[in-house]
């Protein structure tokens, strides 16, 4: 009995040890990020080449490069100075989505009439930036590289990973937010 008591006391004294931090098994400082950046640069270059080929095949259209990294052309352009969309304005529009081969992913009929409150609701980055360039009654075709479309994740439905898109948009109306 005496030995069991001594054993229990010894176990209690030596079991009270502070936890030690575990060391990582391998350290590769920044290599993941460097590799990811290189992959993204190559992907961006491939997509840019495809988009430039589409523009070259259609020399009758005057494509404009946006400051945001996509291209667009007007079907219907409003030359007079009218309402420009701003934060909180309600934009009513229709659009269709195609891949770079011209295959329809979502038709205008399928998507229906859309209402979007500028910068307060979720739409993909390129569409949000494209709507800011448009005026009521304009129709524009946008060529979006994948990072301006749905990027790595896709739309979790029909648009897969890293798919560049052709999106034709018609703005029906813009209702400006009342600034009270």
**pLDDT recorded at residue 50:** 96
Two tokens, residue 13? 């004294």
Dihedral, CA of residue 123, residue 129, residue 135 and residue 137, to nearest 10: -50
- Looking at the predicted structure, is the pLDDT value of residue 180 above 50? no
pLDDT of 160 above 80: yes
At 74-129, the pLDDT tens digits run 999 998 877 778 899 999 999 999 999 999 999 999 999 999 999 999 999 999 99
Residue range 16-41: mean pLDDT, rounded: 74
Backbone angles phi, psi at 73, to 5 degrees: -140, 150
Q: How confident is the model at residue 32 (pLDDT cuts 50, 70, 90)?
A: confident
| Residue 29, pLDDT score | 64
Alpha-carbon span 94 to 79, nearest angstrom = 21
Predicted TM-score (pTM) of the model is 0.80
Contact yes or no for 111/158 (Cβ under 8 A): no
Decide which of 178 and 165 is more confident. Answer: 165
Q: Which residue has the higher pLDDT, 161 or 25?
A: 161
Tell whether the model's pLDDT for residue 3 goes beyond 80: no
Domain ranges of the chain: 39-175
Task: Select the CATH number that applies to the domain covering 39-175 from these four: 1.10.287.810, 3.40.50.1000, 3.10.50.40, 2.30.30.190.
Answer: 3.10.50.40
Structural Rg of the chain based on CA atoms: 27
CB distance 114 to 143 below 8 Å: no
Handedness of CA 144, 148, 151, 154 (dihedral sign): negative
Say whether 21 sits in a helix, a strand or coil.
Answer: coil
Q: How confident is the model at residue 13, as a pLDDT?
A: 65
State the average pLDDT over residues 154-166: 94
* CB of 174 closer than 8 Å to CB of 94: no
For residue 50, give the H/E element and its range.
helix 31-57
Q: Residue 155 above 50 pLDDT?
A: yes
What pLDDT sits at residue 45?
Answer: 95
Cα–chain center distance at 102: 20
Burial class of residue 68 (count of CB atoms within 10 Å of its CB; 0-12, 13-18, 19+)? middle
Q: Which of 135, 132, 28, 37 is nearest to 81 (CA)?
A: 135
């Amino acid at each position: 009995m005496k030995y069991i008591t001594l054993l229990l006391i010894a176990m209690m004294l030596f079991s009270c040890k502070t936890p030690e931090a575990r060391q990582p098994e391998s350290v590769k400082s920044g290599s993941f990020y460097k590799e990811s950046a290189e992959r993204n640069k190559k992907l961006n270059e491939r997509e840019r080449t495809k988009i430039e080929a589409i523009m070259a095949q259609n020399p009758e259209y005057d494509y404009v490069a946006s400051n945001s990294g996509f291209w667009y052309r007007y079907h219907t352009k409003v030359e007079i100075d009218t309402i420009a969309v701003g934060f909180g304005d309600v934009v009513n529009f229709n659009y269709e989505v195609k891949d770079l081969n011209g295959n329809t992913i979502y038709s205008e009929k399928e998507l229906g009439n859309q209402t979007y409150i500028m910068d307060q609701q979720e739409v993909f980055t390129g569409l949000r930036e494209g709507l800011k360039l448009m005026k009521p009654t304009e129709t524009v075709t946008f060529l979006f590289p994948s990072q301006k479309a749905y990027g790595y994740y896709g739309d979790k439905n029909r648009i897969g990973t890293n798919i560049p898109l052709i999106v034709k948009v018609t703005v029906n109306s813009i209702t400006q937010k009342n600034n009270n």
